[in-house]
């Protein structure tokens, strides 16, 4: 059972990650903030026991993805493109920022696996568990996402 101090520490350590996953999944900063609140509210209510900080992080991302799916399936959901520069993560290198924007323009199934693999550092097996997919499916989506991203990068060079 999580103590109040452990809960506070979990929020501090994982808030950015949960928010970035939600923004990546939903492409809507306001909805991502709502998802973050719901994720940490669930953590506070359930107060599960975690084996490690990584176990807690995985649990939070798993809950975040499920909550994002719930939000996307809502009949009240309006989709809006992510064009607000203040809502994008900050990168020191402008090329990293433009690459991230291209990743965000990919279809959702490629965008989320690329984000978890490259930006959060998860392995394909870990991503498969988080997304309830087979590892082979994750590898296929990574491969297809890389190909689409490469095509977008080539097109951006020629513009």
Structural domain that includes position 46: 1-80
Query: Does pLDDT of 153 surpass 90?
Result: no
Mean pLDDT of 28-38: 93
Return the number of other C-beta atoms located less than 10 Å from residue 19's C-beta. 18
Confidence band of 47 (pLDDT split at 50, 70, 90)? confident
- Comparing 47 with 143, which gets the higher pLDDT? 143
Q: What is the mean pLDDT of the chain?
A: 85
DSSP 110: H
Which residue matches tokens 């990743």? 103
How many domains are there within the chain?
2
Domain presence at residue 85: no
Q: Are 108 and 99 in contact (CB under 8 A)?
A: no
Answer with the one of 34, 51, 80 that is the final residue of a domain: 80
2 domain-assigned: yes
**Which one-letter DSSP state was computed for residue 88?**
S
Which position has the token pair 């959901």?
77
Q: Is the pTM of this model over 0.85?
A: no
- The answer to whether residue 93 scores a pLDDT higher than 60 is no
Predicted pLDDT of residue 155: 87
Return the pLDDT at 99: 80
Least reliable range by pLDDT among 10-19, 73-82, 99-108: 73-82
Q: What pLDDT is recorded for position 94?
A: 55
pLDDT at 82 over 80: no
Which CATH number is 25's domain given? 1.10.1740
Largest pairwise CA distance in the chain: 55
Residues 63 and 20 in one domain: yes
99: its two tokens: 């690459």
């Amino acid at each position: 059972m999580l103590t109040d101090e452990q809960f506070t520490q979990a929020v501090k350590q994982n808030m950015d990650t949960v928010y970035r996953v939600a923004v990546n999944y939903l492409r809507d900063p306001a909805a991502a903030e709502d998802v973050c609140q719901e994720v940490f509210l669930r953590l506070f209510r359930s107060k599960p026991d975690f084996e490690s900080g990584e176990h807690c992080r995985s649990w939070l991302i798993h809950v975040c993805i499920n909550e994002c799916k719930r939000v996307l399936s809502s009949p009240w959901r309006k989709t809006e493109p992510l064009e607000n520069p203040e809502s994008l993560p900050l990168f020191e290198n402008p090329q990293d920022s433009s690459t991230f924007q291209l990743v965000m323009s990919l279809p959702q199934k490629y965008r989320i696996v690329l984000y978890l693999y490259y930006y959060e550092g998860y392995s394909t097996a870990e991503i498969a568990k988080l997304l309830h997919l087979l590892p082979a499916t994750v590898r296929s989506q990574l491969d297809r996402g890389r190909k689409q991203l490469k095509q977008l990068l080539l097109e951006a060079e020629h513009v």
